[in-house]
Structure 1
Amino acid sequence: MRSLRLPALLAATTLVGAAGLLAVAVPASASSATVVLNEVYGGGGNTGAPLHNDFIELTNRSAAPVDLSSWSVQYLPATASASSSWAVTTLTGSIAPGGLYLIGEGAGSGGGDPLPPTQASGTTNMSGAAGTVALVNSPTALTCKTVPACAADGSVVDLVGYGSAVVHEGDADAPGPSNSTSVQRGSGPDTDQNGTDFTAADPTPGAANEAGGGGTGTGEPGPLRIHDIQSGEWVSPHAGDSVTNVPGIVTGLRTSGSSKGYWVQDPAPDSDAATSEGIFVYTGSAPPVAVGDSVLVSGKVSDYYPLSSGETVSTTSNLSTTEIGTATAIVLSHGNPLPAPVVLTPATVPDTYAPDLGGGNIEDTPITPDRSALDFYESLEGMRVEVDNARVVGPSNKYGEQYVTTKPDQNRTYRGGTEVLAENATPSGRLEVVTANGADLGLDVGDVLAGATVGPIDWSSFGGYALDATTVGTPQRNHPAPVVAQPAGTRQLSIATYNVENLAQGDSAAKYQALAQGVVTNLAAPDIVALEEVQDNTGSRDDGTVAADQTLAKLTAAISAAGGPSYQWREIDPVNDKDGGQPGGNIRVAFLYDPSRVSFVDTGSTSVDRSTTGTQAVKSHGKAALSLSPGRIDPTNPVWTDSRKPLAGEFSFRGQRVIVIANHFDSKLGDQNADGRFQYPEQSSTVQRAGQALVVHQFVRSLLDVEKKAEVVVLGDLNDYQFSAALAVLRTGNAAGTGPASLTDLITTLPADQQYTYVYNGISQVLDHILVTRAVRGINYQVVHVNAEYTNQTSDHDPQVLAFTP
């Protein structure tokens, strides 16, 4: 979806040449067979004027588009004095064969209707009765002020003098117009006789001349319709071809972002369900049309792929969008009814999101609308669709994006989201909605867009197919209140995990206060909190700083100020720039603990470099213990390359020893797009996470070998699902998840509709986990939803908390 967060279309860099555009200079003394002046009106805003602005209109009489990007239109008063000069209005873009190009000029002080959409604009106030207008293939002001001098100037493509103008073509001026009439070209060839070629009639900007002149805007449709361009294939068979006069109705405009343009849809569809009747027209600037215009579009067909750094069209996993670029349009008429939208009901979209092609490219298969949601939406690319009373399943963001579901009963969470419950099982009802101009609706999961939300279908690398809303339903705010955890009992030890999303010392006081309130109120002030994404003291500034004491001091002070415990902390500074995350941030995991409730057992020599020396399982007083506490687990193992190292710590609670291992596994960056063309997508990051899981599993096994009933809690942001291979390895030591489990993943003990800690692109999912060994009993476990479902987030993760009696 090129409206948001995407680079401008590549076609925008090839306005000249790639589409076969011409730039032809025709002297005014020769008959013009290319671009000519078609209509001139200077009465705008005067008494009795039907229009508020003056205008000049061009038409292209040739069979090819003409590039106007270095051209201008210029005006000279009827009786030019020595001090008179030509007023210049520069042009941009191009004009299609048979097309019209409207240039708005100065406004009068009176009333009148506004002009239809213009392709260029200036501020020249022209006379309504007499003057000279020239079309010039240069932006440089003319100097000629006589008929012979202007006829000899090779930059003048066409010229019209009207009324009593001194400078004109031929033997006489065009007939004098008035405040209510314009000078219009007739239907005959250009004879370079203004008195013959033009007449006065009611002004018709952007439409057929009342005088019946050439370039009337009623050009004939070309040989191709939109469904021919879209075809039943994912990539247009006409990609790279120039097309002429493709008919359609303008259904929506994109006026912001780096990919400005508009959608058109053919009101006369074919009978093939696989061929879309809509298409995006890329202009790169403010669209020169209005919704409801009937247009004939000319330009070059392309399939646009959004590319990340280092990607090429052949390597990207993104899908493309078929569009017409370097485009011009003939506006035939305004205010036409729009084609009826396709109404999306719970039964409309297939239940399968994407077909299993063994990793193959879906673009190598025909579009099969009943096969999958990807196929279905591709068959509607660029067409208007409607979803009614749509429930929000992914909160709004600053880009004007939110996600709704067309299948309200599909994998519904207990708070209104939609869950992923198996690998490669994206809920097919999930659909992105993008507001016009990126307006932020401030919607939370569980809210509803009441009534109809309507707009054309586009594709986004940030979340699959999207509805670019021209009509947005009325927000109905139903979002549930944030979860407040049940406090632990006096004899229970409570342990939480919380990804605090790149927490830096320089973050706002508001973020620290919100995090503190979440810990104190929503998590009920746990005895131990494992934190992920704690940055060093200078945040993302890559200056060699690795210490995070200022960051942690600021957080613990905020918690204390919010009425919470006076937490102490333990962490190990990483080697600079070796733990991944935001460059320069040196994120790490850390422990907070309440010293009034629990003691941290510090073990091992203080001279050991704990960032690179791993802790080991040892026996102490017959119990499993750590050689280094706090300590890292096998930190030099290659599985931790550019990734956070687990932090292990011993705690003593009411005389009982508990070992806690905080983790932040490798992220899913680098995986193929789950909404893209390779299905099912390759998840290359899984290999590293599975390796990390095995190292942690083996460490837990070493503790259990020392003490069978060791109470071990493994927790953190593991960046993978409860049903993933990485979690199977962590629990059992193998990806199949077979054999006895050393750890129980507590998220799997909740009802299915509560198994999520994160919402990404409208999908509720599990990334954060708490796992325990068998000796951990009497468990009370809760996921505390305070962030992921809300548009106003302190972090993008929801914390969770475990309470048990050691």
Structure 2
Amino acid sequence: MPTPRLRLVRTAATLAAATLLAPAVLALPAQASPAGDSLVINEAYTNGGSAGALFTHKFVELYNPTDQPISLDGWSLQYRSATGTTAPSTTVALSGTVPAKGHFLIQGGSNGTTGAALPTPDLATSFNPAGTKGTIVLADQAGTVAGLPTGSVVTDQVAGVADVLGYGATNTFETAASGAPAANSDPKSIARTGGVDTDDNAADFTVTADVTPQNAAGGGTAPVDPVDPVDPAPAPAPSVTVAEIQGTGAASPLEGRRVSTTGVVTAVYSTGGYDGFYIQTAGTGGAEDATPGASDGVFVYAPAEVGSVTLGQTVTVTGDVAEYYGLTQVKAEAGGVRQAAEAGAPVTARELAFPLTEAEKEAHEGELLAPAGAWTVTDNYDVNQYGSLGLAPGTSPLPNPTSVALPGADAQAVAADNAQRLIVLDDGASTNFFRSPGNQNALPYIDADAPARVGSAVDFRTPVILDYRYGAWSFQPLGHLTDANKAEVQPVDIADTRPAEAVREDLGGNVTVGSFNVLNYFTTLGEDVPGCGYYADRDGAPVSTKGCLPRGAYTEEAFLEQQAKIATAINGMDTSVVALEEIENSEKFGLDRDHALAHLVDALNAQAGYAKWAYVASPTVRPALADEDVIRSAFIYQPAEVTPVGESVILDDQVNFANAREPMAQAFRVADGSAEGVEGTEFVAITNHFKSKGGSGATGDNVDTGDGQGAYNGDRTRMAQALVTFAEQMKVQAGTDRVLLMGDFNSYEKEDPIRVLEAAGYISQGAKTGEYSYTFDGAVGSLDGIYASPAADATVTGQDIWMINANETVAFEYSRDNYVGEEFYAPDQWRSSDHNPVLVGLQLDAPATPVVPTPGTRPTPPADQCALITSPRGAKASAGFSASEWMRCAGVHPGKGRGRG
């Protein structure tokens, strides 16, 4: 906690005198002025809770420069955006009293959970100004200020306006706007100097990291006791053990008490944001537990002193016991950390087998541990933003509850077990690698050649601290882990399970079929759509779209990177037919419906070096454009291996598919070089993309009941029933019982929609592989599948879920390129999407003579031009090449080199 700007020392006598001598509360003239005759905005903190924040909530602190208290009844705090020109958009009523020469703390909203709690606010509100720019108005009226102009607004200029603080690039201020915090990533406050108002925000305020909220109790002036002007030295703090501080419950029995305790330093976090260290009672640990039920380790929050302690040192700490979001700690007072008189016996890491119950974890919170047994990476989503991995004891990642148990009580039991088993492997820091200035550097635990995939085995090589932060139990290394010190500080070795060559399983048969969700493959770019938002890399360059109709890449550079990965993955699948989900419905952008699909086929053929692929055209009869989604499902195929039979069919069912993508069916035959293919080898493929589990707007049986199936389970179940009926119709139309239901069903294996398919006789091919297609929230399961009718299942020769995406960290995705100071992007198949492809081999009557395609039908640009291209980002700028030409230059093939270009 930072030290307040004005630390006023009071005795009981002076406090009593202050009470007796306090004048009556008076209502004074409202206008702030250089004369110092009314209230002013003294400090504004607009990034509470953001990454790196000191405090969890935003606040505005008022100051009363007069000699009399001022009532806030009938006053208000108002906010207008940096570009606003009408009345303020937010008005919050104020109440209470600002003491003479004192402060008043108004708590506002929050951006997250980072930081400490504010000192007790005088008024808690929902006031929520923007973090980097805007205008805050202190008004002496309850109603919103009408007619607030832009530009400079100073004393007495506008009725009702007592004070104005314009910060950042705002259009309203006093004379000139003050600076603003450097975005949400580096939360600072905007503080007035000495309470002085000169009607010039730029002159009166400074941006400072010394954030010092003060409330009325700590910011007033009391008469000085002439007999005892300074408090006597505080009484000695009682000496207690660490176990007495921890107690046997979730919170310390000594919370709020000033204590003194001694222990051996077991971990030090002088950088990274933790600002403290762990101590443990000397001689504890190992096999014997001298204090069963109570931990012998505790965190010491000591920003001013953490740099002076070392591992193994015995120290005595004096300070207040506190609970910091569930973590028991001692907040060291000034000068409260000192070398102990005698060195204590060393601490031994306690070997513990997990999982542990909540009470068992509490009993060892803050202790030095050696986690026993096998461990596995079960979650790697946050490693590229927060430097943390999710671990599970055992040799497998945690299962999604409804992948292994029926919805309801059974799935809830699995979820509870997962929660008990999951442990976060952290990096000893609160760094947000996306947003904290100076921290967009190399990440812990992963690099381009060590991907830390879900399912990777983990071996502990050093002890760790059992810690509780951000609402989760974690293992902390013994210091802030960085790329520079990982040889000494990283506590684990992580097995590299990524194969050197990405090759799918041999599926057998003479026809192969696959399903692939292609991660919003859009040829319509965000930069082409006015007003389209975007997610930016660390240099501020747009990468992917945000909140607009195109859902994929924002720029051509980003699209080329996305396309290279998608093309490499599909060519690596190398199946006869690929069902695609999440490809652009180009008709929504005024183009031919198949425009993006044709573009993808061109890219695939360019990469393959010949006309390997074709696409199934949209049918003539299809749903009205207004009834379709901006993404669609589709088929591509290899003409040398299969031949489409007849036109594709889209199920136009706007009752059951009003909020999802309509199924698309296509009949195929084994190719024999003719337009018809081989009679008797027909099969029907139907690609699907059911409604997602998102709960916005859900009603009736679509509301998430907590049974594990998420929202819109009712609609997905009805979609499955309609799909079964559609499949029966396609059997009759195509004259075959061999049907494959494929795609992203947004339903895990034990959920109602999948049980509808299985009850109709369809057999899961993905289930035969023992693998999974998706990871979410630290658990694995399959949302994607291929379900074969009995006749089709009888022809199956092999199955595979190709583990190239879901188990890879999102750091390797095109949409995270250049987010941190380490290169992860490569034009390969790894993390080309968030779903793993599902593949099946079928043995149908083979053609008499295999058809060999003729390569070399697509020319490559001259070598001297290809040499100009060093990366996908540089393709257009350096040589003006299209995506297809770049890939022909790059010569990227499945499983080949991982560098750019």
Normalising by the smaller structure, the TM-score range is 0.5 to 0.7
| Distance verdict in 2 for CA 1:689–1:329, change over 3 Å | farther
Query: Is 1:801 aligned with 2:842?
Result: no
Question: Which residue is 1:769 aligned to?
Answer: 785
Using the TM superposition, name which of 390-399 and 778-787 deviates more.
390-399
Aligned to 2:20: none
Would you say the 8 A contact 1:391–1:448 is kept in 2? yes
SS in 2 for 1:640: coil
CA positional deviation for 1:682: 7.3
CA distance in 2, matches of 1:410, 1:725: 26
User: Match for 1:408 among 361, 386, 394?
Assistant: 394
Report 1:403-552 matches (<5 A). 403=389, 405=391, 407-409=393-395, 421-422=404-405, 423-424=411-412, 425=414, 427=418, 429-435=421-427, 436=429, 437=431, 439-442=443-446, 443-444=452-453, 445-446=455-456, 448-452=458-462, 454-458=464-468, 465-469=473-477, 470=479, 471-481=489-499, 483-486=502-505, 492-505=510-523, 506=553, 507-521=558-572, 523=573, 525-535=574-584, 549-552=594-597
Structure 2's unaligned 5+ residue stretches are 1-47, 68-101, 106-116, 121-191, 198-218, 406-410, 434-442, 447-451, 480-488, 524-552, 671-677, 699-704, 813-830, 845-901
Task: State which drifts further: 764-773 or 509-518.
Answer: 509-518
Counterpart for residue 119 of structure 1: none
| Equivalence for 2:684 | 659
281 and 630 in structure 1: CA distance in 2 versus 1, 3 angstrom threshold: farther
Asked which structure has the greater CA Rg, the reply is: 1
**Aligned partner of 1:721 among 741, 748, 754:** 748
Is 1:232 matched with 2:249? yes
Report the Cα offset of residue 243 of structure 1: 2.0
CA distance in 1, matches of 2:683, 2:652: 17
Equivalent position of 2:766 in the other structure: 747
SS in 1 for 2:249: coil
The 5 Å alignment of 1:164-175 reads none
The question of whether the paired residues in 2 share the 8 Å contact of 1:788 and 1:797 is answered with yes
> How far apart in 2 are the matches of 1:6 and 1:727?
41
**2:689 aligned partner, one-letter code:** H
Between the aligned partners of 2:244 and 2:623, the Cα distance in structure 1 is: 57
Cα distance in structure 1, aligned partners of 2:658 and 2:468: 38
Q: Does 1:592 align with 2:636?
A: yes
Asked if 1:245 corresponds to 2:258, the answer is yes
Quote the offset at 1:398 in angstroms.
0.9
Cα offsets for 1:39-70 (capped at 9, x unmatched): xxxxxxxxxxxxxxxxxxxxxxxxxxxx9999
CA distance in 2, matches of 1:254, 1:545: 57
Out of 644, 660, 666, which is 1:643 matched to? Answer: 660
Aligned to 1:387: 371
Contact 2:663–2:688 (CA<8 Å) still a contact in 1?
yes
Measure the CA separation in 1 of the matches of 2:291 and 2:49. 31
Instruction: Say if 1:219 and 1:330, in contact at 8 Å, map to a contact too.
Output: no
Aligned residues: 529
Unpaired stretches in structure 1, ≥5 consecutive residues = 27-66, 71-91, 96-135, 142-154, 159-169, 171-187, 193-212, 304-320, 351-368, 581-585, 604-628, 673-677, 733-740
Q: Which TM-score applies when normalising by structure 2?
A: 0.48
- Change over 3 Å in CA distance of 1:794–1:705 after alignment to 2: closer
Q: TM-score by structure 1 length?
A: 0.53
Would you say 1:562 and 2:589 are equivalent positions?
A: no
Q: CA deviation at 1:745?
A: 0.6
Contact 2:403/2:749 (CA < 8 Å) preserved in 1? no
Residue by residue over 1:502-559, the C-alpha shift from the partner in whole angstroms, topping out at 9 and shown as x without a partner, is 22334442332222222223x1x21211112224569xxxx96686645334422232
Post-superposition offset of 1:381: 5.3
SS of residue matched to 1:512:
helix
Question: Greater share of helix residues, 1 or 2?
Answer: 2
Aligned AA (2:688): N
d(CA) in 1 for partners of 2:806 and 2:49?
A: 21
Q: Name the SS for the 1:775 alignment partner.
A: helix
Q: Quick one: percent identity of the two aligned structures?
A: 18
Post-superposition offset of 1:748 = 2.4
Q: Residues 268 and 306 of structure 2 are in contact (CA less than 8 Å); yes or no, is this contact kept in structure 1?
A: no
Change (3 A) 1:781 1:390: closer
Q: What is the SS of the residue equivalent to 2:474?
A: strand
Query: Cα offset for 1:454?
Result: 1.5
Distance 1:299 1:137 in 2: 33
Q: Could you tell me which amino acid in structure 1 is paired with residue 716 of structure 2?
A: R
Residue 412 (structure 1) shift? 9.4
How far 1:778 sits from its partner (Å)?
2.7
Task: Give the distance between the partners of 2:194 and 2:245, measured in 1 at CA.
Answer: 38
Q: Could you tell me how far 1:704 is from its partner in structure 2?
A: 5.3
Q: Distance in 2 between matches of 1:578 and 1:731?
A: 29
Aligned CA RMSD, in angstroms, stands at 5.6
1:7-32 per-residue CA deviation (whole Å, 9 max, x = no partner) reads 96975446989xxxx99999xxxxxx
In the alignment, the residues of structure 2 paired with residue 14 and residue 264 of structure 1 have an alpha-carbon distance, to the nearest angstrom, of: 31
Q: 1:600 to 1:668 in 2, by over 3 A?
A: same
Deviation of 1:421 (Å):
3.7
The AA in structure 1 aligned to 2:718 is G
> Which residue of structure 1 lines up, in the alignment, with residue 12 of structure 2?
none
How has the CA–CA distance of structure 1 residues 546 and 244 changed in structure 2, closer, same or farther, with 3 Å as cutoff?
farther
Q: Matched residues in 2 for 1:657 and 1:786: separation?
A: 30
Aligned to 1:620: none
Residue 739 of structure 2 aligns with which residue?
712
Question: Take 1:230 and 1:644, find their aligned partners in 2: how far apart are those partners?
Answer: 56
User: 3-state SS of the aligned residue for 2:371?
Assistant: strand
Q: How does 1:348-363 map to 2 (within 5 A)?
A: 348-350=354-356
Structure 1 residue 763: Cα displacement: 3.1
Structure 1 residue 783, shift from structure 2 partner: 1.4
Q: Residues of 1 paired with 2:220 and 2:789: CA distance?
A: 87
Instruction: Tell me the distance in 2 between the aligned counterparts of 1:534 and 1:496.
Output: 15
- CA–CA distance in 1 between the matches of 2:490 and 2:103? 37
| Contact in 2 for aligned 1:265/1:339 (Cα 8 Å) | no
Measured in 1, the distance between the counterparts of 2:376 and 2:519 equals 27
Alignment of 1:23-62 (within 5 A): none
Structure 1 counterpart of 2:424, one-letter code: E
Q: Distance in 2 between matches of 1:264 and 1:24?
A: 43
What displacement does 1:769 show?
0.8
Q: Distance in 1 between matches of 2:706 and 2:360?
A: 15
Superposed displacement of residue 804, structure 1: 0.6
Alignment partners' CA distance in 2, 1:254 and 1:25: 42
Q: Distance in 2 between matches of 1:338 and 1:399?
A: 39
- 1:631 shift after superposition: 0.5
Query: Given the superposition, is the C-alpha separation of residues 410 and 600 from structure 1 closer, same or farther in structure 2, using an over 3 Å criterion?
Result: closer
1:726 is paired with a residue whose SS is: helix
